[in-house]
Amino acid sequence: MKSPLKYLSFLIVLTLIIACQSEDKSKKSNAEDQVTKEKPKGIQESKLPEVKIPTDGTEDIDVSHIETLTQEELIPYLTKYERRNSESMARISTEYGDIEIQLYAGPRLHRTNFVRLAKLGYFNTTCFHRVAKDFVIQGGNSDQNATAQMRKKVGKYLIPNEFKPIHRHKYGAVAAAKFSDQNVSNASSPFEFYIVTKEDGAHHLDEDHTVFGRVVSGMDVVEKIANVEVDGSEWPISDVCMEVEVYRP
């Protein structure tokens, strides 16, 4: 039989071993959590506070000019729309200045959808609602009632990815956000877009999000927006509103 002193010594050593193992696991877990937090993610459609739309017949804005689209109608409609609306340039006007964007010819559905929303005045109800430092600025949404009304009237649909020809996420690239849930095809949100502000690009997003344009003038304006003060959710403290118009060069 072990003496009480030896048994007590054994318990002390065992306790120290267990404590060391627990500390090692804790450090590993914390390190893994940090990697997960720092790992670059895709650009998701923003989940903003729900905005209630009036149901008493009154509306803050006139949306009667908007034709509501379904997923089945999307491609035939945009194909026909493109024939009469072939603008390939966009100007985003903000309080910091103008951003000129070339809309690529290849991603036809994305380009035409952007042109349509611009002409409907959708983007004029929105702002740059997310600023991720040294990564992207994201626009095309807001917590305003007018934005919610416009979205409801435009319709619920996704834009199929357009990865060919491949356009990379270079500095100044303009690309589409997407919904993360059950979206194995990497289809795009019709409403939100982002501009890459990372100097060496955000190439982990290549062929995960559709790039449909690039900034050709006004990256100094983009950088000013990229440096505004934001809250904990990366939302600018002061709204950076926009007005968007499309035109032919």
pLDDT digits (tens, 9 = 90+) for 83-131: 999 999 999 999 999 999 999 999 999 999 999 999 999 999 999 999 9
Q: Is 66 helix (H, G, I), strand (E, B) or coil?
A: coil
pLDDT at position 51 is 45
In angstroms, rounded to a whole number, what is the distance separating the alpha carbons of residues 119 and 244?
8
Average pLDDT over every residue of 187-209: 96
Using the predicted structure, report yes or no on whether residue 19 has a pLDDT greater than 80: no
Tokens (6 digits) for 178: 């997407």
In DSSP terms, 136 is beta-bridged to: 132, 196
* 222 close to 97: Cβ distance less than 8 angstroms: no
Which helix (H) or strand (E) is 122 found in, with range? none
Task: Give yes or no for a cis peptide into 160 (omega within 30° of 0).
Answer: no
Q: Supply the DSSP string of 173-215, one letter for each residue.
A: EEEE-B--TT-TT-PBPSS-EEEE--TT--GGGBTTB-EEEEE
pLDDT at position 41 is 58
- Model pLDDT for residues 28-61, shown as the tens digit of each residue: 334 333 322 333 457 887 665 444 444 444 457 8
* 43 close to 210: Cβ distance less than 8 angstroms: no
In angstroms, rounded to a whole number, what is the distance separating the alpha carbons of residues 39 and 76?
38
Using the predicted structure, report yes or no on whether residue 214 has a pLDDT greater than 50: yes
Residue 34 vs residues 30, 39, 49, 184, 209: alpha-carbon distances, Å: 6, 8, 28, 26, 25
Q: Is 106 helix (H, G, I), strand (E, B) or coil?
A: coil
Residue 237 DSSP class: S
Q: State the average pLDDT for the chain.
A: 84
In angstroms, rounded to a whole number, what is the distance separating the alpha carbons of residues 130 and 102?
22
Residue 113 burial (CB < 10 Å; 0-12/13-18/19+)?
buried
Using the predicted structure, report yes or no on whether residue 174 has a pLDDT greater than 70: yes
pLDDT at position 216 is 98
Of the candidate ranges 48-57, 177-186, 240-249, the one whose mean pLDDT is the lowest: 48-57
* Nearest CA-CA partner of 218 in 192, 244, 236: 244
Using the predicted structure, report yes or no on whether residue 188 has a pLDDT greater than 80: yes
In angstroms, rounded to a whole number, what is the distance separating the alpha carbons of residues 123 and 221?
18
Average pLDDT over every residue of 181-209: 92
More confident residue, 159 or 56: 159
How are strands ordered across the β-sheet holding 193-196?
A: 240-241, 127-132, 136-141, 193-196, 173-176, 211-217, 97-103, 89-94, 243-247
pLDDT at position 180 is 73
